[in-house]
Structure 1
Amino acid sequence: MGVGEPRRAGRRLHAAMLAVALAVAPGPAAAQGAGGGDGRALRVAVDVGHTLAAPGARSARGRGEFSFNLALADAVAQALRDRGVVVQVVNADGGIGSLQDRPAEAATFGADLLLSIHHDSVGPQLLRTWEWAGRTEAYNDDYAGHSLFVSRDNPRVAESELCARVIGARLQRMGFVPTDKNANRPYADPELAVHFYDGLAVLRHATMPAVLFEAGVIRNRAEELLLADAGYQARMADGIATAVVACLRSGRPAGEAAGEAR
């Protein structure tokens, strides 16, 4: 077998795994109690990134990231509920005490997955200024698209990677385009824009599989408008929910999933 053959074989297994997982995913019409392999209803904690006091990145038009995160988290939660998933929205009021409180709340809830919702920005050295609504704001139109992150310090990293990959595959199948903006972070899967970010507290302190999703770049003036659109949020949420249910219902042992994914 040539040097490139194991890599090609791994990609074929990877593609087959994603196709199977997505094929078994129910849509909203199948909301009669989405369950795991043991028949128990799936439980997902959807975390709203940042807080009211520390709202995260600022958009090209001066809107705080937290409000984008909350809107998409609500849409994802509803899409999951439409599929029979039991959902806990973490930090819905924007007043959570610490980063460690997020996975702790998910654990108390008994979540099968913690999904943390965020929106991306760019470094200050890449920003340009423009006038919007009588204010000087900062933007960058060079980067757009989503990305996903998992931590190798998470005890369920193989399942975290699998869910991140299935989300990435589903979104690309729907026409959403990932970004290469975060290429400085090591890749778990470059084709699906899944990165390792081991130090993220919300991921590494989680005792369940955990994925952080960056929905897009709110410093990009055109993408900001898309990300603020309720219809766009609903469509993205539908893709995420389909993928999450597919991943959690796949019932594959973590070791088997990890072996096929590599």
Structure 2
Amino acid sequence: MSTPIRRGALCILLAGGTAGACDPASFPVAIDPGHTPRQPGAASARGIPEVRFNDELAAALVAELAKAGFPNVALTREPGEDISLLNRSAAANRRGARLFVSIHHDSVQPRYLSAWEVDGRRRFYSDVFSGYSLFFSRDNADPASSLAFARLLGTRLRTAGFVPTLHHAQQIQGEKRELVDAWRGIYRFDALVVLKSARMPALLVEAGIIVNRHDEPSLREPAQQRAFAHRIALAVADFCEAGMVQP
């Protein structure tokens, strides 16, 4: 069941922000479904491309934002469309988005992968790690607000029972990300192109680890997608109400 949106409930997390009346109609949001059909991202434990997970969750998020009263929401790309990373943020910049949320699903480093057979094909999985993660860039136009939104979202996810994965902070090749907030699952990753090229607060969300055989099916369940998307919508409403971003 969806939780009613409590306006301004988490404004204390936004140091320096001034809470005020939020006008969702004048708060455009850009939703970026990660990857494309040509560059589909990670393959799940059962061989489903990440881009399919991203498109489904992005659609659920658009619907949840509409329910929350945010009608001005645009995808950076439509399902099946190929678009570069810079063109994604450029589209959000042109539309005057006040917040940029990039939707992804996670994998692990090759050392953690094992092989198994699915429908006669060799696939790769890892059940070692589970959970979501949030990434912001200090090279973004507004890193303070980006981190503030990450804290709002992390709090919404944790209080709803979602748990972050901390494996991106491991001191191994391909990881070594700065873990800014372990409880909320927030990392700093300055080089992420869509975040640093956005002219508004921006966050990349890894909603779950699709190579985990136990997590993969639930990440495609509509009810689970709606529950996760609902928490993002709550955090967007909190952020809007806090008045962190000025028009």
Instruction: Normalising by structure 2, report the TM-score.
Output: 0.86
Match for 1:48 among 33, 41, 47?
Answer: 33
Which of residues 135, 138, 141 in structure 2 aligns to 1:155?
Answer: 141
Q: Deviations over 1:47-84 (max 9, x none)?
A: 00000000000000000000000000000111011112
Does structure 1 retain, via aligned residues, the 8 Å contact 2:98–2:245?
no
- RMSD of aligned C-alpha atoms? 2.1
Q: Which has the higher contact order (CA 8 A, sep 6+)?
A: 2
1:149-198 residue CA offsets vs partner (Å, 9 max, x unmatched): 00000110000000011111100000011111111210222221111100
Q: 1:35 is matched with which residue? A: 23
Q: Which runs of 5+ in 2 are unaligned?
A: 1-9, 170-175
More helix by share: 1
In the alignment, the residues of structure 2 paired with residue 126 and residue 52 of structure 1 have an alpha-carbon distance, to the nearest angstrom, of 26
- Matched with 1:176 is 162
Give, in angstroms, the shift of residue 251 of structure 1: 1.1
Report the AA paired with residue 12 of structure 2: M
Distance 2:148 2:118 in 1: 41
- CA deviation digits over 1:187-232, x for unaligned, max 9? 2222211111000000000000000000010000011011011100
Match of 1:248 among 198, 220, 240: 240
1:206 maps to a residue whose letter is: A
1:17 CA drift (Å): 1.8
| Structure 1: gaps spanning 5 or more residues | 1-14, 25-32, 255-262
Distance (Å, rounded) in 1 between the aligned partners of 2:40 and 2:11: 40
Seq. identity, %: 42
Residue from 37, 59, 77 that aligns with 2:44: 59
Label 1:105 to 1:165 Cα distance change in 2 as closer, same or farther (>3 A). Answer: same
For 1:78, the equivalent position in structure 2 comes to 63
Q: Greater Rg, structure 1 or structure 2?
A: 1
1:59–1:65 contact (8 Å) kept in structure 2: yes
Contact 2:131 2:209 in 1 (8 A): yes
Taking the TM superposition and a 5 Å limit, the aligned residue runs for 1:77-156 are 77-85=62-70, 86-156=72-142
Which residue identity lines up with residue 127 of structure 1 in the other structure?
Answer: L
- Which of structure 1's runs of 4+ aligned residues deviate more than 6 A? none
